[in-house]
């Protein structure tokens, strides 16, 4: 594999047979330097300051300093990206890239099919700064979709958000450093709801508590667009472990007046994403998110979570959340005039 940098002036070439990385000066056509790269190197990616090399038989990724490469020297640091090597999932090895530069430009995201995880690396560190579960799926490729705000002019930020229908919405903007949280009411121009077409009921989290020993009892309610309670017909709850591989499903029991409970046994300690679906009511998991809660629950009532919030993952990253405006303790609905 070959990769160009410095506007095509130089190139790095991977040789999986000899376990080497070669530095080429394309202006002179010479091999300037060579670096041992054990593990059958087969994937290459670049950030502004570094090159990243993956090997098939090692879980470590070589990080090569491009400033030194411009001086004719190849030096690398081996950073572990998980425990399993890609060769432990041979069916997932292909020519598609498993690297994706971090939107901030100071690191890389790496998909490891052997671990079924995606690792986030920040330049200057000796280990990844975090990871994302791929829910036991072996990644064959990786691409990052950056939906954070972009600064188009000094002090002016912009991001595209898609809403299902037009109306007035609450826009919540959050920044980590400096700490800024603001809320605005905005008018979104979109397609109005069609008359006579019923919208799917909206689930709202009520509580998460411990029932019998080792049993989690999740309570939620369903209400339609007018705020009237709706009883589930074929609902089930899904709990997905955020930093792990556990997934549990459980049928839902209707208590009447739109209130429901689900009982799950065998949850491991940790953070879980909670979702509900009901095919008869046209509620899918992606629209039936109840929020992220820890198990076992902390003392006190569980917070309600009706909308997915996009939080900044790194310092200096600004994110926005667009959710339908709602009164306190009511389901998320479009703001009425």
Helix, strand or coil, per DSSP, at residue 237: strand
pLDDT score for 104: 81
* Euclidean distance between CA atoms 101 and 335, whole angstroms: 39
Of all residues in the chain, what percent carry a pLDDT higher than 90? 54
Using pLDDT thresholds of 50, 70 and 90, give the confidence band for residue 190: low
Radius of gyration of the chain (CA): 25
Domain boundaries, the chain: 2-133, 150-194+320-324, 202-295
String of b and e for 180-219 (b: at least 16 CB within 10 Å)?
A: eeeeeeeebeeeeeeeeeeebbbbbbbebeeeeeeebbbe
pLDDT-based confidence at residue 231 (cuts at 50, 70, 90):
very high
Q: For residue 311, with 0-12 CB atoms within 10 Å meaning exposed, 13-18 middle and 19 or more buried, which class applies?
A: exposed
This prediction has a pTM of: 0.55
What local confidence, expressed as pLDDT, does residue 315 receive? Answer: 34
No. of helices (H) and no. of strands (E), the chain: 1, 24
Q: Which two tokens mark 112? A: 């490891």
Q: What percentage of residues in the chain have a pLDDT greater than 70?
A: 85
Contact 222, 214 (CB under 8 A): no
List, in order, residues 6 or more apart from 77 with CB less than 8 Å away.
62, 63, 126
At 50, list the tokens: 């570094």
The domain defined by 202-295 folds into Immunoglobulin-like (2.60.40)
Is the pLDDT at 164 greater than 80? The verdict is no
Q: Give pairs for 244-250: CB < 8 Å, separation 24+.
A: 244/133, 244/268, 244/270, 245/116, 245/133, 245/135, 245/136, 246/270, 247/135
Tell me what pLDDT residue 53 has.
97
> What confidence tier does 320 reach under pLDDT thresholds 50, 70, 90?
very low
Q: Which CATH architecture has domain 2-133?
A: 7 Propeller (2.130)
Mean pLDDT of the chain: 83
Nearest residue to 60 via CA among 97, 87, 23: 87
Both structure tokens of 123: 């330049």
Has residue 206 got a pLDDT over 50?
Answer: yes
Is 90 exceeded by the pLDDT of residue 13?
yes
- Say whether 266 sits in a helix, a strand or coil: coil
Q: What is the pLDDT of residues 96-109, one digit of tens each?
A: 899 999 988 889 99
Residue 304 scores a pLDDT above 50 = no
Whole-number Å distance between alpha carbons of 292 and 280: 25
For 283-293, the pLDDT digits (tens) are: 988 888 998 99
Could you tell me the CA-to-CA distances from 274 to 87, 222, 247, 248 in Å, in that order? Answer: 33, 15, 10, 10
Average pLDDT over residues 299-327: 38
**CA 296/CA 196 separation, integer angstroms:** 43
Q: For residue 312, is pLDDT > 50?
A: no
Backbone region of residue 129 per phi and psi (left: phi > 0; alpha: psi in -120 to 50; beta: other values): alpha
pLDDT score recorded for residue 118: 94
pLDDT of residue 218: 95
What 3 state SS string does 24-39 have? Answer: EECCCCEEEEEEECCC
Highest mean pLDDT out of 20-24, 156-160, 227-231, 265-269: 20-24
pLDDT of residue 161: 77
Mean pLDDT value of segment 57-83: 95
Q: Residue 219: which of 253, 193, 189 has the closest Cα?
A: 253
pLDDT band at 17 (very low <50, low <70, confident <90, very high): very high
> In the numeric block, which tokens belong to residue 298?
């902390």
Residue 308 has pLDDT above 60, yes or no: no
Q: Averaged over 169-173, what is the pLDDT?
A: 80
């Amino acid at each position: 594999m070959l990769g160009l940098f410095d506007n095509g002036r130089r190139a790095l070439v991977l040789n999986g047979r000899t376990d080497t990385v070669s530095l080429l000066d394309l202006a002179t056509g010479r091999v300037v330097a060579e670096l041992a790269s054990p593990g059958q190197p087969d994937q290459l990616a670049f950030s502004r300051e570094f090159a990243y090399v993956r090997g098939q038989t090692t879980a470590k990724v070589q990080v090569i300093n491009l400033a030194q490469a411009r001086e004719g020297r190849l030096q690398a640091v081996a950073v572990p990206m998980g425990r399993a090597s890609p060769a432990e999932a041979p069916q997932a090895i292909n020519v598609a890239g498993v690297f994706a530069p971090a939107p901030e430009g100071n690191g890389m995201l790496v998909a490891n099919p052997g671990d079924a995880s995606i690792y986030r690396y920040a330049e200057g560190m000796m280990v990844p700064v975090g990871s994302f579960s791929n829910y036991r799926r072996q990644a064959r490729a990786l691409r990052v979709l950056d939906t954070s705000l972009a600064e188009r002019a000094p002090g002016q930020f912009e991001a595209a958000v898609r809403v299902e229908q037009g109306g007035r919405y609450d826009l919540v903007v959050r920044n980590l450093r400096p700490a800024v949280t603001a809320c605005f009411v905005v008018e979104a121009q979109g397609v109005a709801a069609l008359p006579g077409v019923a919208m799917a009921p909206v689930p709202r989290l009520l509580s998460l508590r411990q029932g019998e020993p080792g049993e989690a009892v999740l309570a939620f309610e369903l209400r339609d667009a007018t705020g009237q309670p709706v009883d589930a017909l074929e609902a089930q709850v899904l709990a997905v472990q955020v930093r792990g591989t556990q997934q549990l499903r459980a049928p839902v029991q209707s208590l009447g007046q739109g209130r429901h409970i689900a009982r799950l046994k065998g949850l491991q300690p940790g953070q879980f994403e909670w979702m509900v679906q009901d095919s008869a009511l046209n509620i899918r998991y992606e629209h039936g998110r109840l929020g992220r809660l820890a198990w076992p629950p902390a003392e006190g009532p569980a917070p309600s979570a009706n909308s997915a919030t996009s939080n900044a993952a790194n310092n200096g990253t600004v994110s926005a959340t667009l959710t339908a405006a709602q009164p306190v303790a009511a389901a998320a609905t479009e703001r009425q005039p």
